[in-house]
Amino acid sequence: MMNNKQKQVYCTFQDAPQHTFPGHPESPHRLHLMREWLTAPPYPEMVWLEFQPASEADALLVHSQAMLESIKAACRMGPHEFEPSPTYMTESSYQAALGAVGATLAISRRILAEGQGRGFAIVRPPGHHAEPDRPMGFCLLNNIAIAAADAVASGAGKVAIIDFDAHHGNGTQEAFWHTPQVGYLSTHEMNIYPGSGRIESAPHARGRIINIPLPPFSDTHAFIDIFHEVAAPWLRNFGAEMLLVSAGFDPHFSDPLTTLTLDTTGFFQIAQMLTNLAEEFCHGRILFVLEGGYDPLALRDNIQACLAALCGRPSFPDHFGRSPGGRSEVESIIEKLKNLHHLKED
């Protein structure tokens, strides 16, 4: 086992203050508590990287030219909302989206150039609902999908994506529906937005695309069991050169948009587990990319918990405390997933 301590953890930050809409939960306010980290990071291992907005060529690794043109045209219309979730555009939204992609690529490319490393792109707008041909679900460009496609295009080999946001990352799944080099595993609350990610979906990609819908009130124990029994053997089998993590913190029990009951200690445990799995199976290369999470105080603590794990810390200050209660029975889901995806024990 490698020494997890004294690792540098590359971080980028973009709160995109101009990409905002009155009363919308996906707002710059989500990240305002993290601004003080720019001058006083919670852990000395954190290294802030400078970054440029991504190029249009980068966005085209996943998205169609027609979609990019439609976003630019929508921005020219000024602030407005669309589709039921709802998503919004402002004059500066396209630049904000390119910035979030650029902040993600700055870390993934650094890790690949150095052959090792860990990171966390603390960015908005989020990305995992954005499909190749349309923005949706508060997401304009798919930050993590573009980083994965960029890694594959650079000859990095296989890339694994784990998505623990409370919502299914339909856009990421769609981007790699027919891409054998990219694996996708998502845990999400069943029967909520966007409605995709059923356990039997993607029959053509068994063992590569794994969807894990969880009942409401699934708690930290449920997540830990799933990650131990499904994510770990999946990563062992898949043989990825790098692990990307769609880190959405809306499964937290305080989140206003979902009814999962993960707590901050749970996020720490999951991040610790994923960091160790990346050491074992992905050359230690791991990059967290922020997705959802709409309680600013919980979001700050949950991101800090993951940073503590990435920095190899044994613990972190949990101000929020344990979940007030939930349900942890996921044995039948785990059995079904093992059979469906031929996941072998150690």
- The residues of the shown chain that bind Zn ion, judged by CB under 5 A, are 165-167, 248, 250, 292
- Find the shortest distance in angstroms from Cβ 169 to Zn ion: 9
Q: How many CB atoms lie within 10 A of CB 39?
A: 7
CB nearer to Zn ion: pick between 102 and 292 = 292
For residue 104 the two structure tokens come to 């993600």
Nearer to Zn ion, 125 or 248 (CB): 248
Please, which residue, 159 or 299, has the CB nearer to Zn ion?
A: 299
Percent of the chain that is helix, strand, coil (3-state, to 5): 40, 20, 45
- Give the count of alpha carbons within 13 A of 159, CB side only: 26
Nearer to Zn ion, 51 or 184 (CB): 184
Cβ proximity to Zn ion, 156 vs 175, nearer residue: 175
Residue with the closest Cβ to Zn ion? 292
Long-range contacts at 199-202 (CB < 8 A, ≥ 24 apart): 199/333, 199/336, 199/337, 199/340, 200/340, 202/173, 202/177
Question: Smallest Cα–Cα separation from 185: which of 131, 246, 139?
Answer: 246
Least Å distance, CB 28 to Zn ion, is 17
Closer of 19 and 110 to Zn ion (Cβ): 19
CB 298 within 8 A of CB 136: no
CB of 197 to Zn ion, least distance (A): 12
CB of 167 to Zn ion, least distance (A): 4
* Shortest spacing between CB 138 and Zn ion, in angstroms: 8
Kindly state the DSSP code that residue 146 receives in the 8-state scheme: H
* 114 class by beta-carbon count within 10 Å (0-12 exposed, 13-18 middle, 19+ buried): exposed
* Structure tokens belonging to residue 245: 């993590």
In the chain, how many H helices and how many E strands?
10, 10
Q: Rounded distance, CA 19 to CA 40, Å?
A: 25
CA distance 291 to 271: 15
Give me the amino acid identity at 45: E
Return the number of other C-beta atoms located less than 10 Å from residue 98's C-beta: 21
Which residues have a catalytic role annotated? Answer: 129
CB of 179 to Zn ion, least distance (A): 23
Phi and psi angles of residue 90, each rounded to the nearest 5 degrees, phi first? -130, 180
